[in-house]
C-alpha cells in the first residue's frame, strides 16, 4: 500500500508541475528536412495559433509556421534538423516533462495484488492472470506468457491471439529495461508494424512508438537465409531498444501480454 501511495504522489506531483507551467517555446534556427515525423499539417491564422495546437498535442515537440501553414512534428524530428539562418522552428520547452508525466501514469501501479493477479486500471482492482500467464515483478498492469519456438511476426501475433492476448507492447522505459535484463540480446517481436516503409510506427491504441535504437527505424533491405527482403515493416525489441525488421524473421521466444 505504501508503494501505491508513493507512485500516486509522484504522478500527482509531476502532473501538478505540468499544469502550473504554461507551454512556452524555444525559437530555433533550424529546418526539419523530412516529413517522417509529421503529426499534422493545417492552415492557421498566426504562428501563435500554430503553437497553441502544438501545446495541446502531447506528442508534438516542434512546430513550424510559414505562409499560414502550420506543421506539427513529434520528437523523431530531432534526427532531421539542419541549421538554417532563414528558417525558424518552435520547440516545446516542457516536452520532456510531459513525457515524465505520461510514463509516471503508465508505471503507476498497486502491488498489493496476489502473485497471480495484476492491477487493472479500467476495473480499478486486482484481476486474475489467465491460466499459464504470470505477473512479472515491477510490471503491475499485465500478465505475460512466453512461448518457446521460432516464429515470424504474423505467427507470433497469431499465437498470442489464440491465447486471447496480444503481442508484447513495452511502451515505457521501465518495461523495456525489464525485458532487456530478462532476455539480454535476444530479438523479440513487439506489437507494431507499418504498411509502407516511411510510415510511423504506432501501438495498437494509436500512440507513437518511442525508444528506437540509433539510426532506427531505417526501413532498409534485409538479408535473411541468403535471400534479400526489401522492407522492414515490423518491430523487434533487442537490448531494450526497438529496431525495424522484416516480418519473415524467426525469433524465440514469443511473449504474449494480457491486460484489461
Q: For the chain, what are the domain ranges?
A: 22-93, 137-258
Question: Among 88, 63, 87, 84, which residue's Cα sits nearest to residue 75?
Answer: 63
User: For residue 202, what is the DSSP state?
Assistant: B
Name the DSSP class of 161: H
- Tell me which residue has cell 497469431: 158
Architecture of domain 137-258: Roll (3.10)
Burial 25-39 (b: 16+ CB within 10 A, else e): beeeebbbeeebbbb
pLDDT digits (tens, 9 = 90+) for 125-169: 899 999 999 999 888 889 999 999 999 999 999 999 999 999 999
Q: What is the DSSP letter of 49?
A: H
User: Which ranges of the chain have pLDDT less than 50?
Assistant: 1-12, 14-22
User: What pLDDT score was predicted for residue 131?
Assistant: 95
pTM (2 decimals)? 0.61
SS3 content of the chain, % helix, strand, coil (to 5): 25, 30, 45
3-class DSSP state of 232: coil
CATH number of 22-93: 3.50.4.10
**What is the C-alpha to C-alpha distance for residues 56 and 173, in angstroms, rounded to an integer?**
24
CA-wise closest residue to 111 among 83, 93, 137 = 137
Grid cell locating 193:
508494424
pLDDT at res. 110: 57
Amino acid at each position: 500500500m505504501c508503494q501505491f501511495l508513493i507512485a500516486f504522489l509522484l504522478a500527482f506531483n509531476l502532473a501538478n508541475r505540468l499544469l502550473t507551467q504554461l507551454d512556452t517555446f524555444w525559437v530555433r534556427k533550424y529546418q526539419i528536412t523530412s516529413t517522417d515525423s509529421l503529426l499534422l499539417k493545417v492552415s492557421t491564422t498566426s504562428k501563435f495559433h500554430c503553437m497553441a495546437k502544438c501545446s495541446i498535442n502531447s506528442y508534438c515537440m516542434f512546430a513550424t509556421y510559414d505562409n499560414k501553414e502550420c506543421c506539427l512534428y513529434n520528437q523523431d524530428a530531432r534526427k532531421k534538423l539542419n541549421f538554417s539562418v532563414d528558417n525558424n522552428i518552435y520547440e516545446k520547452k516542457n516536452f520532456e516533462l510531459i513525457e515524465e508525466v505520461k510514463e509516471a501514469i503508465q508505471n503507476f501501479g498497486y502491488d498489493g495484488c496476489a502473485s497471480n493477479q495484476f492491477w487493472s486500471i479500467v476495473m480499478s482492482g486486482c484481476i486474475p492472470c489467465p491460466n499459464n500467464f504470470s505477473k512479472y515483478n515491477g510490471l503491475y498492469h499485465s500478465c505475460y506468457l512466453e512461448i518457446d519456438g521460432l516464429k515470424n511476426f504474423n505467427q507470433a501475433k497469431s499465437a498470442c491471439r489464440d491465447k486471447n492476448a496480444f503481442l508484447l507492447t513495452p511502451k515505457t522505459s521501465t518495461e523495456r529495461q525489464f525485458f532487456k535484463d530478462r532476455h539480454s540480446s535476444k530479438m523479440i517481436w513487439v506489437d507494431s508494424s507499418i504498411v509502407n516503409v516511411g510510415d510511423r510506427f504506432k501501438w495498437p491504441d494509436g500512440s507513437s512508438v518511442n525508444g528506437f535504437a540509433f539510426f532506427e527505424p531505417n526501413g532498409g533491405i534485409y538479408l535473411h537465409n541468403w535471400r534479400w527482403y526489401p522492407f522492414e515493416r515490423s518491430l523487434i525489441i533487442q537490448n531494450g531498444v526497438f529496431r525495424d525488421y522484416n516480418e519473415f524473421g524467426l525469433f524465440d521466444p514469443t511473449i504474449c501480454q494480457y491486460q484489461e
